[in-house]
Amino acid sequence: MCLGYPAKVIEIFEDKKALVEYLGVKKMVNIALLKNVSIGDYILIHSGIAIEKIDQKEAEEIEKLFGEVQDANS
Amino acid sequence: MRYKMQTAELIWEIKNNIEKIGRSLKVIEVCGTHTVSIYKNGFHTLFEGYIDFISGPGCPVCVTHEGYIDRLVELSSEWTIYTFGDLLKVPGSSKSLSQARANGGKIKVMYSPVDAVEHLENNEKVIFAAVGFETTAPAFALSLEKVIEKGLKNVKFACELKTIDEPLKSLLQNHIRVDGIILPGHVATVIGVDSFKFVEGFKVASVISGFEGYDILLSLLSITQDILNEDFTVKNEYKRVVKKEGNVIAKGYIEKYFERTSAFFRGLGLIPGGGLKIKDEFREYSIDMSYDNTKQKDSLCRCADVLTGKIKPFECPLFEKVCTPISPKGACMVSQEGSCNAYFRYGKWKGR
């Protein structure tokens, strides 16, 4: 229920909307809960709404290690 | 570089810390997405004998009373009910929403309440089934704002939103003794690290966690280190998203449209301040959903005991025999994030 997914901002529109991309899928989301969203930012989406910007540096560091757990399981 | 440990090293370190502690640990997670991640990654077997994982009441579908479903079923003959898909198969005392829809009830599944409002016509009679924790509450607050902006008069909210702090306090005070808590990352994204400070009073190691396998491992490492150091301050492992103060705009939306109320939680009962209701000034957009929360359908289902860690899913007499994800008898099997459902799909229990 509290599932969220990280998506990259592709385009920003008036009326607090943005076009985002996640795993190759593009979708319009609401960005009313965020300040200063720019194209290229990664944001966390829940129920069609961006609930937070993702700290890029932190995300890149940990992302390298995500695959490891999956590999250990396979 | 914060993340310098390889996975194997991390697992070894966690087990090593538990050996130093000298006993196995009870760790509770209070978010369904964490439940799935733990079972899916096999951590319940990987740490067998070291960590006993308990799934707390953090999946809104699992804690919803059947009386709420009954009211929605009743209303669906006259109103169109917009609901998240998670709620469709939750058993009411006679029907689920899914069964009501098969019998002609007007029920639509939505992905986003904000998107749904944009497509509504002026005269449509619509009820939004507002279910969820603080992660979801801002979405319903934004929807309500859009309804007001559009001047829609026939749109109501069946508010059954929950808060995390009061049920967590009740759980720790009255129901369970645990060594560590994995705190919900996306609720924390909205309400912030500081909102969980109350956990420190229970002298329990706690950490706000992300949802990937590696996140869970980092959180377990944090819990074991904190137990060794007797450090009971709330830690934030999900720094890439969660801020100390949370999302101030989102919290503002919640405060603008909602206020605290008592709410029923399966397994915990009625929790004062455990829910959110629409503020009086916006009451024309709220629909009366009162139901008798003292009555429970007579059933062998042990969801309530599973949610408070009293039993494991496989100890329920219905589990796997008559209660499965295809034919669920209780909310914890209905929800993709319920502990019975996760246990059924990824678990390991005697006799299998």
- A13-70 pLDDT, tens digit per residue, is 988 999 999 888 999 999 999 999 999 999 999 999 999 999 887 777 666 655 555 5
CA distance B125 to B154: 5
- At A2 the three-state DSSP class reads coil
Return the closest-CA partner of residue A7 out of A32, A36, A40.
A40
Nearest chain A CA: its distance from B65 CA (Å): 16
Exposed, middle or buried: residue A51 (CB in 10 Å: 0-12, 13-18, 19+)? buried
Test the B interface: residue of A57, A69, A73 with most B CBs within 10 Å = A69
Q: Indicate yes or no: pTM above 0.75.
A: yes
Nearest chain B CA: its distance from A1 CA (Å): 7
- The CATH number linked to A43 is 2.30.30.140
CA distance B121 to B79: 14
In order along its 352 residues, chain B shows pLDDT tens digits of 355 678 889 999 999 999 999 999 999 998 888 998 998 898 988 999 999 998 888 788 888 888 999 999 999 999 999 999 989 988 888 899 999 999 999 999 999 999 999 989 878 899 999 999 999 999 999 999 999 999 999 999 999 999 999 999 999 998 888 999 999 999 999 999 999 999 999 999 999 999 989 999 999 999 999 999 999 999 999 999 999 999 999 999 999 999 999 999 888 889 999 999 999 999 999 998 888 776 666 678 898 888 888 898 999 999 999 999 988 888 889 888 888 998 899 876 544 4
Looking at the complex, does the CB of residue A33 fall below 8 Å from at least one CB of chain B? yes
Looking at the complex, does the CB of residue A12 fall below 8 Å from at least one CB of chain B? no
Nearest chain B CA: its distance from A70 CA (Å): 8
Between chains, do B212 and A69 touch, taking CB under 8 Å as contact?
A: yes
* HSE-up of residue B14 (Cα within 13 Å, Cβ side): 25
* Residue A29, domain extent: 5-72
Q: What is the side-by-side order of every strand in the sheet holding B107-109?
A: B107-109, B80-83, B126-132, B155-162, B269-278, B258-265
Size of interface A-B (CB pairs under 8 A): 122
pLDDT at B1: 39
Per the structure, how many domains does chain A have? 1
CA distance A6 to B289: 35
Hey, what's the torsion of the CAs at B13, B18, B24, B25, to 10 degrees? Answer: -80
pLDDT at B352: 45
